[in-house]
Amino acid sequence: MASQVIMPKLSPTMEEGQVSRWLKKEGDKVSMGEPLAEIDTDKATMEMQALANGVLRKILVKEGESAPLGQLIAIIGEPDEDIAPLLSQAGEKPATSKPVAEAKPEVEPPATPRPASEGNGRQTVEVAEAAAGRLIVSPLAARMAAEAGIDLRSLHGSGPGGRIVKRDIEAAASQPKAAPTTQVVQGFPRAVESRTFQPAATAAASPYRDEPASEIRRTIAKRLVTSLGPIPHFFLTSEIEMDRAVEMRRGINSLDPELKISINDIVIRVAAAALIQHPQVNASFQEKVIRYYEHADVGVAVAIEEGLITPVVRSADQKSLSQIANEVRELAARARSRKLRPEEYTGATFSISNLGMFGIDEFTALINPPEGGILAVGAVTPKPVVRENEIVIKQMMRVTMSCDHRVIDGATGAKFLQTFKKILENPLYLVV
């Protein structure tokens, strides 16, 4: 019996996935557990495994197309099995990203009737051709899509060679807004999409250019709106003398050049130690309960090309500096190539965002819910400070902690920050 391959939930926040690459062709044998396709989720590119044995009979969602969770995207069956019932079922639930004009003749532009000869099979061939190379689109269709905010890669071109033409945009634009997420997938602008600036409606206002928001960018937006909106933030800033930490780092790195421990690694380790001493901060507001965590799982904000992501250093309180350094380096590298697994970037108890490398002295960060706090770390810079009535030059670093006031009070946060400062100014505490 043929089995359906549906778009799986590959990340906790995933609402739809984009098939980035099929690893099997139609007609290929597949066995259970074998990689079947690579799926772009809102966060990462994940491998999807086959859950049945047989032959990949039909691919219903092409490379570059998106489908919502649970949608049929392929069929695995015996080579001679009749899959027509499944296919017709798929026809009733078309890919939301794909206007199936045949099913909705009323959306066709009346002026250009579609001839009866144009069948499904022919379209499939043409789309395959188009998918193999660059997107083919008429100038008019490109302009209409840009104006309507329709992602061209979500469409099937009905013109020769899979060219996307006016009627395809009209059909897509008149599709019911069943799934608003379908219009936009990840957003590197293509050459065919307009890179030019639109004149603004208001006289003398700046021209502008609309580009589809990428999946990850929209996730960031959605997540952060749920942060500063519902979460009552307050901010605590402290200036920390870093001379000893800097000296310790230099000392450790001189022991073994392979170690490459950064200031941020030390900050992570110290924050983890402070979190364990202040369980009220290593906590999360969960409506009816306050959740306190046993370990300090520290999320580290990593800038990637399309936004940012926070891979998690698990139990950072129990790890050595070199373990943390290796782990952060490895996670960041995979984050940049979008190869993180969901469990590697979710479920932190506290986060750290460091913009010191950009020369930022001080900033505030938004809490990544449901965490209770985030530490915004600035650059280490030499500054004149007063020590024993003398002005001396010290390596100083400013940190600002954002706290969820529902779970952390001012004094609680301040005490945490005090501990953090104490340890960081005297890193020997780490080994005491």
Partner 1 sequence: MRFIPTFTQIQSLHTGIRASGKGSESNLYMPIITIREALNQAIREELARDENVFLMGEEVAAYDGAYKVTKGLLKEFGDKRVIDTPITELGFAGLGVGAAMAGLRPIVEFMTFNFSILATDQIINSAAKMLYMSGGQFKVPIVFRGPGGSAFQVSSQHSQALESWFAYFPGLKVVMPSTPADAKGLLKSSIRDDDPVIFIEQERMYGNKGEVPDDNDFTIPLGVADIKREGTDVTIVARSLMVPLSLKAAEALQQQGVSCEVIDPRTIRPLDIETIVASVKKTNRVVIAEESHPFCGVGAEISSEIMERAFDYLDAPVKRVSGADVPMPYAKNLENLAIPGVDQIVAAVREVAYLD
Cβ proximity to partner 1: between 142 and 324 the closer is 142
Residue 104, amino acid = K
Cβ proximity to partner 1: between 166 and 405 the closer is 166
Least distance between partner 1 and beta carbon 63 (Å) = 24
Least distance between partner 1 and beta carbon 66 (Å) = 25
Q: What is the largest CA-CA distance in the chain?
A: 92
Cβ proximity to partner 1: between 93 and 163 the closer is 163
Least distance between partner 1 and beta carbon 60 (Å) = 24
How far apart, in Å, are the Cα atoms of 372 and each of 101, 196, 231, 277, 411? Answer: 49, 43, 10, 15, 15
Contacts with partner 1, residue ranges (CB under 8 A): 111-115, 138-143, 158-160, 165-167
Cβ proximity to partner 1: between 20 and 194 the closer is 194
Residues contacting residue 168 through CB under 8 Å, at least 6 positions apart: 99, 101, 141, 155, 156, 157, 158, 159
Task: Catalytic residue, from 233, 278, 295, 405: name it.
Answer: 405
Q: Is 161 left (phi over 0), alpha (psi -120 to 50) or beta?
A: left
Cβ proximity to partner 1: between 139 and 257 the closer is 139
- Output helix, strand, coil percentages for the chain, rounded to the nearest 5: 35, 25, 40
Residue 31 CA from chain centroid, whole number = 30
CB 4 within 8 A of CB 70: no
Handedness of CA 341, 345, 348, 354 (dihedral sign): positive
Active site (annotated) includes residue 405: yes
Return the closest-CA partner of residue 192 out of 212, 207, 172, 173: 212
How far apart, in Å, are the Cα atoms of 310 and each of 91, 101, 254, 258, 399? Answer: 39, 41, 29, 25, 18
CB 376 within 8 A of CB 238: no
Catalytic residues: 405
